[in-house]
Structures are given as C-alpha cells and as structure tokens.
Amino acid sequence: MTNQPQTAGAEASGTTPHQFILAGSALGVVFGDIGTSPLYTLKTVLLLSGNNPTPSVILGLLSLIIWTLILITSVKYAMFAMRIDNHGEGGIMALMSLLVARDKGSRWVVLAALLGAALIYGDGAITPAISVLSAIEGLNMILPEAETWVLPIAVTILVLLFAVQPFGTAKIGKVFGPIMALWFISIAGLGIWGIAQHPAVLLAINPWYGLQFLVSNGFVSFMVLGGVFLCVTGAEALYADMGHFGKKPIWLAWYGVVFPSLLLNYAGQSALILSGADITQNIFFRLCPPVLLIPLVILATLATIIASQAIITGAFSMTRQAIQLGWLPRLRIRQTAAESYGQIYIGTINWLLMGVTLFLTVFFKSSENLAAAYGIAVSLTMLMTSGLLYVAMRHIWQWRRLTSALVAGGFLIVDTCFLIANLIKVLEGGYIPLLLAAVVCTTMLVWHRGAAAASNAVNEKVIDVNTFFAALKEREVPRVQGSAVFLTKTRNGIPPVMRWHVARNHALQQQVLSLTISIMNVPRVPAGERLVIVEQAAGYWRGIAQYGFMERPDIPELMSRLGEMACDFSVEDVTYYLGHETIVAREDGQGMASWQRKCFAFMVRNATHVTHYYRLPGDRVVEISRRIAI
C-alpha cells in the first residue's frame, strides 16, 4: 500500500493563525447543516422508537447517534474522503473529474457521480424547509397558541432568504462564522447542563448499547436508523467545501468545535429524558432554561438561515461545475463579490430551489412530517461517494484490492443499512427528493448525450487546413482587411462556422483565429498554461484555451494576452463568429429518441447565450445559423 492516510490530528500540527481564522469562517459555511441537526434528530428518533423509551433504549439511541457521527463524519469524510482531492477541490463532481482524468472514468463512475450530484439538489430543497421549521417551532415552548403562526413565519423567512440571493451575501457572510460559533458554544453548554442532570448517560459512548438496541427491538430498531441518520445530514459539506477553506481549517473546526458540541448536546438531550423530562415537546428546547428560551429560538433561527444559505451557495457552486464539465446547459452566472470566486448567483437554480422548498414547507407543514422525506437523498449520495472512494483507493492510492474492499466495503455496508432504513419513508414523502433527483439526473444525461451528438454531426465533414486554403486560392476568394475569431469545438481541420462564413460572404479576413475552449478535469489551470496557439497557414492560427471546472472563460481577457505570446494577431478590430444551432431530427431516423431530442433542443434554445457566457462584446459578434440533425 502507498499513500496511506494519516490521522487528521497528526496533519493538523503546525497550524498557522490564518488557518484558525479560516476554521472560524468554515463554521458558518461548512457546518451549518450538520450543526443544526440537534434541533430535530433526537425528536424524530424518539417518535420512531415509540415515544415511551426505557433507560436502555435511550442509551442505545444515543450510542447509535454517537457512533454514526464517528464512523461517517469523523472517519469516512474527515479521515478518508478529504484526502482524495482534485488539486485541492473536493465534492462528488470533483472526485468524478479526478477519476476521469486518471482514465478511471468508467460509465459506472460517471453515473454514480451524476446521481449523487442530482440527489444533492433534493437535499438542498429539504434542508432549508426542515431547519427553519424546526427552529420556529421553538415558539410553541414560549407561547403554545403561537402554533398556528409557525408555518407563515417559516414561509416568510424562506421567501426572504431566496429573495436576497441576487444581492450576494459577501457582506453579511462575515458574521456567519461568529454566529455559528455562538451557536455551537450554546448547544455545548446546554448539553453539559443536561449531562449534569444524569451523568450516567455518558455510558452510551460504549457501542455495545447501540448494537444491543439494534438486535433486541426487531423492525422498530431498523426504522429508528432512518431517524438516527439525520444526525449526519450535511457531512458531505466537509468534503464539498474543502476547496474554499482547505483540509486543516475544516479539521480544526470539526474536531475542535463542531464534533464535541454535537456529542455534548445529544448526550444532554438524552440525559434530560433519563431524568424524567416530558418528551411530548421538542427535547432540544426543553434543555434551555425558560429565561433564555427566546434568545435561543432567535439564535436557532439565525443558525438555520445560515445553514440554508450554505446549502443554496453549494447548489450554485455545483451547478457551475456541472456546466463547465458539460453536464448542464449554460446558465447565467453572476459574480456577486469580486474578491470571492465562490460568491455567485444563478437565478434559474435559485428560483427552482425556492419553489420546491416552499412547496415542501407548505405540504408537510412541520419538521416532524418533513423528517419522513429527509435522509433518502443524503444516504443515497453517501452510498455513491463510498463507491467512488473504492475506485480512488485502488487507482489513486494504489491500494491492494482486498484492503480497498475492506475499508470501502465497511463504509458501503453502513451506508446501505441507512439507505434501506430510509427507503421505508418513500411512501411518506421520501419519493419527492427521489423524483427531483431523477429529473436532474435525466437532464444531465440528455444534455451530455445531445451535446455529443451535435458535435459529431458538425464534425462529420472535416476539411483539412491546407486543402481549405488551397481551395480559397484556386477560387480566388479575397482576404479582406480585419481579424476574425471563430469559436468552435472542433480541434482538427477548419471550423464549420468558418466554412459557412466563407460560403455565404465569399471572403475571409486577413487574420483568422480558430479558438476552442477546453474545460479540463482540474479546478484551475495556471495562467502560463492557459492558451496554446499555433500558426497553421498564412494568417491562420489555431488556438486552444484551457480552463478548470472552477473557472469561467473570459475570451476578451484571453485575447488581450496574445501580445505576450509573440503572436501577430490583431485584436483591435476583431469580430467574433459563432454558430447558432437549430436542432432537427435525422432523415434516416437513426438519431436520438424523439423525446430526448426535443428536450435537448428546448435546453439549447433556453441556454444562456454564448456571448454572455464568454463575456464577448455584443457589438462585435456575428451569428451564423445552422441546422444540426441528431
């Protein structure tokens, strides 16, 4: 075995002050989802266990929660997944890109990653709904008659949350870390107070209590696993947000603040039940002294808003990666803060998420009901990640097959148990995130297949550079003043849009550049490797611009660098030529299925225009229409 992972604690030695600052910032972005899970997890678990728990049952439930946090978050994600990074970037799309770049991108790897990514959108719709509802439900503890106001208040907060997205969160984002730090300190303090009521609850650290519960309660114990799993929803964020903060800051925040706070709070809630507290109301808020209940509800609401914001931002980031990698159509992406690349806004995703989130909130009406739909998407995503980890262990770490199977197989067994337990919820609302994921995954596959078919159709008749210019000379086609850039996906021969330009205008500019934008399976490409340009004929250059999947191409900025490359191409009066595609059916009937072709054609018509996506000056762009049969 080579490249064997070390423990996170060992690598965290020699930490710099800057990494401590980043760790504080990570509290507000990475850990919002998992950090607010104590609001509803134990409440849901108690409901599934029958709401009449004995001391042995309470210790068993707490033990399952503790060891789920240890095995999935601390071991699987922190110790293993976070060590398999794509040039510093993490997440299921980055992992897929890494495996594809290593020529290990089998169809199974791609499908697993796409399904996992699609499921994250389902999580992104449910998390704001269940989190905000569970926080506002704390009002019932203060004023029982306020129950009828919980749903309207939650809907209002969610509408405002999505409505402010176009303005960006760079300024208010600076207070996310301190607020979440206060949240974790508060839930840890409440947990310590609860443990003091019944210290024997600490016996649950022994995994025997959890195993005993699983084997002695039949089908009920299996159903309870679906509720226990809620304690790790959000664990994927440790891996997905690794590129924003780095490994060490996330490890520092998790092991130093978040993990201990969660353990203490869950133990405190369980201790309160052991001491005979009333469990008909939310046990999380029962931990709080009455005089501090209003501040806690306010703090909980702020924490759930921050958690929801992190989920929305994560959906924007993953969408950008999917677009760059060719799995989604171009969407309008707006940078909301110049100093932070992660601060982006994608209107289509924002409003779609808002619509689904509000529907879930109104349809389920309470966090208790929403818990039935929660967990399926996350557990299936985690299962996909475990499968990809096995491939990475074999082909990136070069582990032996048996070792990889034992480690990844252990993760797969745990994930499978949680998935099966969550599948029981399908008819109770769990079908909603699955349907949403199916729509997203189908969209990705149809777009990718359609784009490949269109590219193949365009490239069917490739003309060699020398042949093309010899024909120009023979036909005495004039070379007029000016320069032209032809955007094309074709890497060899003359771009089809350039052929059509000459055929219709019977002339060609004196200086011509054929430019291909290539998205690499790495997050970022060094500036020195951005552009490769070669003069293939008199006045004709072939250029390939390389970008990472975390970068947005900027063609005018790219053109401004030509002078540094000793290239005589003039950019002062350049005109950009694009192909405008109309998708039609093939005459031989051998192309894409009709429904797929129609879906692809709809996405092509509604995709963000190339002019905007590549930041081209609109007054210098010429489009040439073309019919593409697929």
Between 429 and 194, residue with greater pLDDT: 194
pLDDT tens readout for residues 170-182: 666 778 889 999 9
**Average pLDDT for residues 9-28, to the nearest whole number?**
74
For residue 625, is pLDDT > 90?
no
Q: Between the CA of residue 583 and those of 36, 241, 596, 605, 629, what are the distances in Å? A: 47, 38, 11, 9, 6
**Average pLDDT for residues 161-168, to the nearest whole number?**
87
Residue 579: left if φ>0, alpha if ψ -120 to 50, beta else—which one? beta
In the prediction, which pLDDT does 124 show?
Answer: 81
Q: What is the spatial distance between Cα 43 and Cα 134, in angstroms, rounded to a whole number? A: 10
In the prediction, which pLDDT does 181 show?
Answer: 95
Between 220 and 203, residue with greater pLDDT: 203
pLDDT tens readout for residues 79-116: 999 999 888 888 888 888 888 877 665 788 888 888 88
**Average pLDDT for residues 129-144, to the nearest whole number?**
87
In the three-class reduction of DSSP (H, G, I as helix; E, B as strand; rest coil), residue 484 is classed as strand
The model's pTM? 0.85
Alpha carbon of residue 321 to chain centroid: 9
State what percent of residues in the chain have pLDDT above 70.
Answer: 95
Confidence of residue 26 (pLDDT cuts 50, 70, 90): confident
8 A C-beta contact, residue 37 and residue 126: no
Q: Domain 29-450 - what CATH class?
A: mainly alpha
Confidence of residue 341 (pLDDT cuts 50, 70, 90): low
In the prediction, which pLDDT does 493 show?
Answer: 86
pLDDT tens readout for residues 452-491: 898 888 776 778 899 999 999 999 999 999 999 999 988 8
* Average pLDDT of the chain, as a whole number: 87
Q: What is the spatial distance between Cα 140 and Cα 148, in angstroms, rounded to a whole number? A: 9
For residue 321, is pLDDT > 50?
yes
In the prediction, which pLDDT does 4 show?
Answer: 45
Query: Is the dihedral angle over the CA atoms 363, 366, 369, 371 positive or is it negative?
Result: positive
In the prediction, which pLDDT does 7 show?
Answer: 43
Confidence of residue 265 (pLDDT cuts 50, 70, 90): very high
**Highest-confidence segment of 342-346, 369-373, 622-626:** 622-626
In the prediction, which pLDDT does 601 show?
Answer: 92
**Average pLDDT for residues 318-322, to the nearest whole number?**
88
pLDDT tens readout for residues 560-595: 888 777 778 888 889 999 988 888 888 777 888 899
In the prediction, which pLDDT does 59 show?
Answer: 95
> Angle between the 55-68 and 259-274 helix axes, to the nearest 10 degrees?
170
For residue 148, is pLDDT > 90?
no
For residue 6, is pLDDT > 80?
no
State what percent of residues in the chain have pLDDT above 90.
Answer: 44
For residue 33, is pLDDT > 60?
yes
Q: Provide φ and ψ at 608, rounded to 5°.
A: -60, 135
In the prediction, which pLDDT does 12 show?
Answer: 44
Domain boundaries, the chain: 29-450, 462-629
Q: Poorest-confidence range of 4-8, 324-328, 350-354? A: 4-8
Confidence of residue 51 (pLDDT cuts 50, 70, 90): low
In the prediction, which pLDDT does 9 show?
Answer: 44
Outline where 365-426 has alpha helix (H).
367-370, 376-395, 401-423
In the prediction, which pLDDT does 105 show?
Answer: 58
Q: What is the spatial distance between Cα 584 and Cα 94, in angstroms, rounded to a whole number? A: 34
Each as own residue / partner, the long-range contacts of residues 562-571 (CB below 8 Å, 24 or more positions apart, any chain) are 562/531, 562/533, 565/531, 565/533, 567/533, 567/535, 567/541, 568/511, 569/483, 569/511, 569/513, 569/541, 570/483, 570/511, 571/483
Alpha carbon of residue 604 to chain centroid: 23
Residue 615: left if φ>0, alpha if ψ -120 to 50, beta else—which one? left
